[in-house]
Amino acid sequence: MKSIWHDTLPLPSYPSLPGSIRTEAAVIGGGLAGILTAYYLTRSGIQTVVLEARRIGSGQTSGTTAKITAQHNLIYQKLIAGFGEEAARQYVSANQQAIREYTRLIRSKSIDCDFQEASACLYTRLPGDALSQEYKAASRLGIPAHLSADTELPFPVRNALYFPNQAEFHPLKFLKAVANGLTIYENTPVLSAKGHHLHTPLGEVTARHIIFACHYPFLLWPGLYFARMYQSRSYCLSLAGIPPLKDMYLGIDPGGLSFRSARKRLLLGGFGHRTGIIPDNSYQRLQNFVHKYYPAAKTVSHWSAQDCMSLDQVPYIGPYSFLEPDWYVITGFNKWGMTASMVAAQLISRKICKKPVPWESVFTPRRIRLKASWREAMTHLSESSRGLALGLLHPNRRCPHMGCRLKWNPYECTWECPCHGSRFSHQGKLLSGPAQTSASVPSR
């Protein structure tokens, strides 16, 4: 089903690429990160085009719960330990600046996008000191925060960590406003890139600067992003008949859930998993929770989304590879794409315009942080190696990206790649990449 955002706002359509063109900057991908990057480049006087394979906002932007926050689960104690305190401060500064810039932009342009400030809250129902440790890390980095066991949730909690002055909004309303006036070409997939040239079925785009904002980079080389990320699916119900929540919530326990209110609905999310590793029915698990804690609620809609997960929990934003000095990449948002999209747009536009970026080094794709990523790297290597080996044994269900065996998800009726997260319909039609073509699959 479509998300609550798509159900409440049809976006305008844009033309396809009319033929081969030249431009100063080309942004691949018309999600929030790509549109915001094009917006700031255009405002800076850089001639920019957006190339979107389908429709703008049709990918992960439409599936988000749309929290604008610097509270990214239990990240700050991990950042201090794995990256060092200075890098952790850069991460904080970038995300706090993103929240301020959303507020400034929305208010200065009078964008009607259901924007409102709220606190972001992590909660736990289990004993332990994880939230106390995160509170100490946040306080050490200068983040206003407080602990309290009082929440609006329908069950008691052991503890909760609040970050005030965060926000929530309607992402497609915001996207529509920011896209107005940009040069956008829809239904224009980029099939290959070489130097300053992008090849599409409708013509070639020659650009001085190329920005890959297409969720997951589709090129195997350079960059090797397939070895540095995996994808994770998450699930959401839209519920009617529940009093609205004032704040936003996320559970840190195994099976912890996400809560926020939007347009007189409660958005309940959770039970995510690595794409292609199919657990029990996540929608049913969410529904079981509703029956227990919100028996009078009505499920209005449900949907799922997919996120790129970097191995060290920090996005890759910056120069794509030292082999291509005029390419840039935006990916690996780790489920915090709304805030990270603004961080990315600010960082990339400043880089291209040769302006200083004080928090560039923490996000650079050229980083190597073994202390922060080795456990996730070993898990990713194991899953990818297994998928590739099984792909050799099952040639009738191989992902066209790198040849991993596809797995059937009976709850969404899709074929999924457990290595890198490409998804296909029951007939093998490509739904999302990094694969660029449809797959040959058994009939269903």
User: What mean pLDDT comes out for the span 391-407?
Assistant: 86
The per-residue pLDDT for 134 is: 97
Q: Residue 220's pLDDT band (boundaries 50, 70, 90)? A: confident
- The answer on pLDDT for 221 being more than 80 is yes
Q: How many CB atoms lie within 10 A of CB 374?
A: 13
Per DSSP, 131 falls in state H
The per-residue pLDDT for 262 is: 93
The per-residue pLDDT for 372 is: 60
Distance set, CA 186 to CA 208, 215, 256, 425 (Å): 21, 16, 37, 21
CB 320 within 8 A of CB 219: no
How far is it, in rounded angstroms, from Cα 98 to Cα 91?
11
Q: Residue 310's pLDDT band (boundaries 50, 70, 90)? A: very high
* Peptide linkage before 319 cis (omega within 30 of 0): no
The SS3 assignment for 219 reads coil
User: What mean pLDDT comes out for the span 376-392?
Assistant: 75
User: What mean pLDDT comes out for the span 354-383?
Assistant: 81
- The answer on pLDDT for 266 being more than 90 is yes
pLDDT one-digit tens code per residue, 138-179: 999 999 999 999 999 999 999 999 999 999 999 999 999 999
User: What mean pLDDT comes out for the span 375-387?
Assistant: 75
Residue 25, judged by CB atoms within 10 A of its CB (0-12, 13-18, 19+), counts as: buried
340 φ, ψ to 5°? -65, -30
Q: Average pLDDT, whole number, for the chain?
A: 93
User: What mean pLDDT comes out for the span 235-258?
Assistant: 95
Q: Which residue type sits at 41?
A: L
How far is it, in rounded angstroms, from Cα 313 to Cα 373?
8
User: What mean pLDDT comes out for the span 85-89?
Assistant: 96
The per-residue pLDDT for 397 is: 86
User: What mean pLDDT comes out for the span 10-25?
Assistant: 95
- The answer on pLDDT for 444 being more than 80 is no
CA R_g for the chain = 21
The per-residue pLDDT for 189 is: 95
Structure tokens at 13: 């359509």
Q: Residue 370's pLDDT band (boundaries 50, 70, 90)? A: low
As a residue count, the chain comes to 444
Residue labelled with tokens 């297994």: 386
CB 214 within 8 A of CB 421: no
Contact partners, residue 174, CB within 8 Å, separation at least 6: 32, 106, 111, 113, 115
How far is it, in rounded angstroms, from Cα 165 to Cα 160?
16
The reported pTM is: 0.94
The per-residue pLDDT for 388 is: 74
How far is it, in rounded angstroms, from Cα 64 to Cα 53?
19
Task: List the beta bridge partners of residue 193.
Answer: 198
Q: Residue 395's pLDDT band (boundaries 50, 70, 90)? A: confident
Task: List the beta bridge partners of residue 398.
Answer: 405
Dihedral class, residue 203 (left if φ above 0, else alpha if ψ from -120 to 50, else beta): left
- The answer on pLDDT for 349 being more than 90 is yes
pLDDT one-digit tens code per residue, 36-65: 999 999 999 999 999 999 999 988 898 999
Residue ranges and CATH numbers for the domains of the chain are 4-64+172-227+313-367 (3.50.50.60), 115-168+228-310 (3.30.9.10), 371-432 (2.102.10.10)
Q: How many CB atoms lie within 10 A of CB 16?
A: 16
From 208-222, 232-246, 261-275, 358-372, the region with the lowest mean pLDDT: 358-372
